[in-house]
Amino acid sequence: MNALFHGHVQGVGFRFTTVEVARDFELTGYVMNTMDGSVRVVAEALEEDLLKFLEQIRAAHIYRYVVKEDLNWSNATGEFSGFTIKYS
């Protein structure tokens, strides 16, 4: 899953909260700020876990800063060993 969260999502703890939420699930991938001001989340897990992960992000206090969410689903690559903050 590749998600872009748009809005005032940088500088409000979005990445750190996403990492905290990810700890409740068996998933891998990363969260990172993008140059256009959005936050990208790339995550791999069972679909059920990814859906629950997204639900938890949407229920978190930081989601109030999101004005738009773009989701793209694709097959897992297996390239990640954990879930981290990626710095560009």
- Which of 2, 15, 58, 64 is catalytic? The answer is 15
CB 80 within 8 A of CB 30: yes
DSSP-derived 3-state class of residue 12:
coil
Distance, in Å, from the CA atom of 8 to the CA atom of 36, rounded to the nearest integer, reads 11
- Which of 2, 33, 40, 75 is catalytic? The answer is 33
Distance, in Å, from the CA atom of 45 to the CA atom of 24, rounded to the nearest integer, reads 12
- Closest by alpha carbon to 1, among 58, 51, 69, 73? 73
Verify whether residue 15 is a known catalytic residue.
yes
Residues with a known catalytic role: 15, 33
